[in-house]
Structure 1
Amino acid sequence: MQNEKISYQLITNAGNSKSYSMLAIEAAREKDFVKAKEYLNKAKDELKKAHSIQFELIQTEAQGIHMNMDVILVHAQDHLTMALMMKEQAEEFVNIYKELEELRTKGGVN
């Protein structure tokens, strides 16, 4: 794969993952924990695709085939990092909303 194609695929997968993470938080806020879990699973799937591309880059470099590091590829890696962080935060938000709902159901919080 050429740099530009790799970069844009990473950006696409990372962006999709981040969007699904945000949708998971919104679903949890609306107390739809089934949907939140579905969105988190989709976020994870998109991250797996991005990690596969990243692993391919690392393999290529390890084989002594050096790639040019251009601004777009660096930008793509930033997107991947942010998507990873967003997925982890979304998981925490979903858990917090779920715990709050459980407390409300038990009569502990209004």
Structure 2
Amino acid sequence: MNEERIFGIISYAGDAKGTAYEALNSAENFEFEKAEELMKQAQETMREAHKLQTKMIHEEAAGNTVEVNIILIHAQDHLMTAMSEINLIERFIKMYKKIDER
């Protein structure tokens, strides 16, 4: 069961990050409506990854030990990297909007 969640975290985080980079490409071309829609999709996908992580945390807090292995560590790394990159991409999109206004 945990393996399904772990691979779900990896999959959702990777999809979210990829979608965010698509949004950045759109912003670079000053296609802001498309960029906004893609960022909404990326955030929703990231929420799904976070839900899986939260379930595992709640289980651990309830006394059900979650086995820590290299795949879980990889999933956590993937999730946190995706979150950071999405935050930076949001800032870049704002910057491109400011550039376009000038």
Q: Stretches of 4+ moved more than 2 A in 1?
A: none
Residue aligning to 1:80: 79
Letter in 2 for 1:83: A
Residue aligning to 1:26: 25
Residue aligning to 1:101: 100
Compute the displacement of 1:4 (Å): 1.7
Structure 1 residue 89 corresponds to structure 2 residue 88 = yes
Q: Scaled by the length of structure 1, what TM-score is found?
A: 0.90
Q: Following the alignment from structure 1 to structure 2, what is the Cα–Cα distance between the partners of residues 41 and 47? A: 10
Compute the displacement of 1:82 (Å): 0.7
Q: Tell me how many residue pairs correspond in the alignment.
A: 102
Letter in 2 for 1:81: M
Q: Equivalent residues in 2 for 1:1-110 (5 A)? A: 2-103=1-102
Gaps of 5+ in 1: 104-110
Compute the displacement of 1:71 (Å): 0.3
Gaps of 5+ in 2: none
Compute the displacement of 1:25 (Å): 0.6
Letter in 1 for 2:5: I
Q: Following the alignment from structure 2 to structure 1, what is the Cα–Cα distance between the partners of residues 90 and 4? A: 30
Compute the displacement of 1:3 (Å): 2.5
In angstroms, what is the RMSD of aligned CA positions? 0.7
